[in-house]
Amino acid sequence: DIQMTQSPSSLPASLGERVTISCRASQGISNNLNWYQQKPDGTIKPLIYYTSNLQSGVPSRFSGSGSGTDYSLTISSLEPEDFAMYYCQQDASFPNTFGAGTKLELK
C-alpha cells in the first residue's frame, strides 16, 4: 500500500497569511493526488484533483503543485472560512490512501 505522510499535523496561522501543507507518498503516484477540506460538522469539500486542478467553485486562493512523491497545497491569503482540517489522497493505486490530516487553526 502507498503511505501518505502529511505535514504539518497542526498549523497555526493568521488571517491573510500564506500557508502550505505538504504530502509525501511512499512511492511515485504520477500526479494522482487530491486535496480535501473538512469542516467540524464533518462536511467534506473537494478542493483540488490531479495535483493542481481546482474543483468547480473553489476559490482561486487555493492551489496545488507537485510531482513524483512530493505534493503541496497552498492557500495564498487565509480567509476565516479556511480554518479547517485538510487531507491529501492518492488514487494512483488501490487501496486509495489518505494523509493523516492537517488542522489549520487560527493563531
Concatenated DSSP letters of 88-104:
EEE-SSSSPEE---EEE
Q: How many residues bind another protein (CB under 8 A)?
A: 23
Work out how close the CB of 3 gets to another protein at its nearest, in angstroms, rounded to a whole number.
Answer: 12
Instruction: Tell me the β-bridge partners of 97.
Output: 90
Smallest CA-to-CA distance from 53 within 37, 66, 39 is with: 66
Interface of this chain with another protein, residues 75 to 104, rule: CB under 8 A: 87, 89, 91, 94-101
Work out how close the CB of 6 gets to another protein at its nearest, in angstroms, rounded to a whole number.
Answer: 9
State which of residues 23, 31, 34, 86 lies at the interface with another protein (CB under 8 A). Answer: 34
Asked whether the beta carbons of 16 and 78 are under 8 A apart, the reply is: yes
Binding site for another protein (CB under 8 A): 34, 36, 42-46, 48-49, 53, 55-56, 87, 89, 91, 94-101
